Structure 1
């Protein structure tokens, strides 16, 4: 699924909102992201970021059903770094003596496995909502590699993936924009 259909809809129906998008990622941006993450990005994610730079200001601009604002590659890497630092320091239960071993065991689980509130290096944020809940692409190995899962600021990632891929998420975006999205919402002006 390509972002172009959503982009066309936004350009036509909400030009003020469309104007708030940052330029798309360059091949160099995407290569740098893969180097930082330490793993190849899923094809659907790189294709999306090559077309969509995320919103300049993600303050409650719900474009991804139903409450999420898209992040561009630069924003995603900043959020990833912050979440890795914060969650490693405060989210690991005190009874876990070896945080590195705990993280390694969670990294070995297949993509899409509930993780609790530890943010793993192979989680790449793709969107955020107004409450600080993130959507991320799970780059752990397994049949669901690249699935999109919610990371709640309180519960972490304890739910099943919302979408099996970024492409499936983008299909949901198009269906929502063309169906239930309301252009009269203040965020769309």
Structure 2
């Protein structure tokens, strides 16, 4: 798996980052995530969290910018934090909609939830969050990356989001493609993973 090569690279070339890796996620937590989202986790995402349950964020020291493992200056989330953030985004959305519009918003979210993964809504008011989106990494400022768990040929694609919107299309077709880019970027920095 790509993750094991990334982990070896970190152990050899970035021991501080390697020391912040969390142990594997509990299989029961993975099943709980599927129950909460109402969708199966993509195989690659489940395998990745089964290998490492995210990373403990770096604390900036002396004005230094901490190293972030994922693109867009994101750190991988532990599964529990991914679920917490998903719930926070969903609650924030529902808490900010005026009561007269609540039913219309729920209908809209239900309609969007039936769309194929990778479908986004440039002509509609962009949702802050769909129930089928699961965050996988964050930039510490409200933005990050999510996996689209809706059905379709782009099921499991990874999308970048900000504090008020998301990219108009997926950045990677899968978590495996994201990890491949991470490994490529690390190897360009130098050092080895073998």
Same fold flag (TM > 0.5): yes
Deviating above 6 A after TM superposition, structure 1's stretches of 4 or more consecutive aligned residues are none
Asked if 2 retains the 8 angstrom alpha-carbon contact of 1:96 and 1:102, the reply is: no
How far apart are the structure 1 equivalents of 2:190 and 2:94?
37
Which runs of 5 or more structure 2 residues have no equivalent in the other structure? Answer: 60-65
Which runs of 5 or more structure 1 residues have no equivalent in the other structure? Answer: 183-189
TM-score (norm 2): 0.84
State yes or no: 1:127 paired with 2:149: no
How far apart are the structure 1 equivalents of 2:8 and 2:70?
15
How far apart are the structure 2 equivalents of 1:112 and 1:35?
22
Most deviating of 37-46 and 54-63: 54-63
Query: Secondary structure of 1:98's partner?
Result: helix
Structure-2 residue corresponding to 1:37: 37
Change (3 A) 1:149 1:51: same
TM-score (norm 1): 0.86
1:110 to 106, 113, 116: 116
How far apart are the structure 2 equivalents of 1:72 and 1:4?
17
**RMSD between aligned residues:** 2.2
Asked if 2 retains the 8 angstrom alpha-carbon contact of 1:24 and 1:72, the reply is: no
Cα displacement (A) at 1:112: 1.0
State yes or no: 1:65 paired with 2:74: no
State yes or no: 1:170 paired with 2:159: no
Cα displacement (A) at 1:178: 1.0
Structure-2 residue corresponding to 1:54: 54
Asked if 2 retains the 8 angstrom alpha-carbon contact of 1:151 and 1:157, the reply is: yes
How far apart are the structure 1 equivalents of 2:103 and 2:84?
28
Asked if 2 retains the 8 angstrom alpha-carbon contact of 1:91 and 1:118, the reply is: no
Within 5 Å, which residues of 2 pair with 1:9-24? 9-24=9-24
* Paired positions, count: 180
Change (3 A) 1:103 1:57: same
Structure-2 residue corresponding to 1:5: 5
The Cα offsets for residues 127-166 of structure 1, whole Å up to 9 and x where unpaired, read as 0013221200000111100000012102x12421000001
State yes or no: 1:150 paired with 2:160: yes
How far apart are the structure 1 equivalents of 2:110 and 2:22?
35
How far apart are the structure 2 equivalents of 1:181 and 1:146?
30
